[in-house]
Amino acid sequence: MGWSSILKSLLTVFVLSILAVCSVESYTCIQATCENGNCLGGTRTCPTSYSCFSQIQKLETPSPDTNLVLEQKGCASYQNLCALEFSATLGNRQKFRYKTQCCTGEQCNKENLTLPPLSSEVNGVECPACYNNKTNTCSTTTPLKCTGAEKRCIEVTSRDLSSNIVMYGKGCATENACALYMTVFNNIQIKTSCISTNGSPALKSAASLPVILLLQKILL
Ligand SMILES: *[C@@H]1O[C@H](CO)[C@@H](O)[C@H](O)[C@H]1NC(C)=O
Ligand SMILES: *[C@@H]1O[C@H](CO)[C@@H](O)[C@H](O)[C@H]1NC(C)=O
């Protein structure tokens, strides 16, 4: 095949996929923003041709005044908004949970998302933990026994895009919380990375073992 025919077939595929996307039936989704249970601006609908999303973000802190639950629903125009769930517990008992999912169908995001109950069962991983809402470092850390599915040690930097307040923390998190660069609570930019510790090397090597075996089989 010459280049022009390859390009021609690529173009055909491209045009066909656009047609396929455009011919998807459009429907409406529930659109709402609720802060601590108060839905601001009531509930409306929006038209979509991709999908509806629901999202819940929950911050639990030692003081009830700084706790925050943000629930959002609306029309998702691209894949990125769909299917992300993670949780992290930083020093000073700051716990953040995030869940977003998409669905297709007329007002399919009507139901509220719920978060699974928190597990208090220690899982054997221990991470250095700290929390600092003034600068982006911690001078000291204290060991934190991780619970439930939070089996990775994490480091989080955040910046409030409106007030420029920075925060830095370390603690335990779920695998999905590693390597995020995103906005939470609409205007807080977070950047995360997982720290390897000697707490759980067994987990890592167990996960890569099948890959190594497979590679050996292929190479031999
Ligand atoms: C969903 O949650 C909001 C506030 O958190 C509440 O006002 C609303 O009634 C709930 N909707 C359903 C279907 O439970
Ligand atoms: C910053 O952290 C301190 C101590 O943990 C807390 O008392 C204070 O309320 C926090 N401030 C903000 C803005 O979160």
Mutate to test the pocket of ligand 1, among 29, 34, 55 (most ligand atoms within 8 A of CB): 34
Between the CA of 112 and the centroid of ligand 1 the distance, in Å, is 6
Provide the percentage of residues in the chain whose pLDDT is more than 90: 65
> Does the pLDDT value for residue 92 go beyond 70?
yes
State the Cα–Cα distance between residues 30 and 80, nearest whole angstrom: 19
What average pLDDT does the chain have? 84
State the Cα–Cα distance between residues 173 and 166, nearest whole angstrom: 20
Distance, C-alpha 130 to centroid of its chain = 21
Is any atom of ligand 1 closer than 6 Å to the C-beta of 155? no
The residues, any chain, with a CB within 8 Å of residue 169's CB and separated by 6 or more, are 90, 91, 92, 94, 129, 130, 131, 132, 138, 155, 156
pLDDT tens per residue across span 19-42: 444 445 789 999 999 999 999 888
Mutate to test the pocket of ligand 2, among 59, 133, 165 (most ligand atoms within 8 A of CB): 133
- DSSP SS3 for 22: helix
Provide the percentage of residues in the chain whose pLDDT is more than 70: 77
> Which tokens go with 194?
């997982």
Is any atom of ligand 2 closer than 6 Å to the C-beta of 133? yes
- DSSP SS3 for 174: coil
State the Cα–Cα distance between residues 154 and 145, nearest whole angstrom: 13
Looking at residue 60, its amino acid is E
Task: Characterize 151-165 residue by residue with b for buried, 16 or more Cβ atoms within 10 angstroms of its Cβ, and e for exposed.
Answer: bbbbbbebbeeeeee
pLDDT tens per residue across span 170-213: 999 999 999 999 999 999 999 999 988 654 444 444 444 444 44
Find the angle CA(98)-CA(180)-CA(136) to the nearest 5 degrees. 100
State the Cα–Cα distance between residues 157 and 129, nearest whole angstrom: 13
State the Cα–Cα distance between residues 70 and 112, nearest whole angstrom: 12
| Ligand number with the minimum distance to the CA of 65 | 2
> Does the pLDDT value for residue 7 go beyond 80?
no
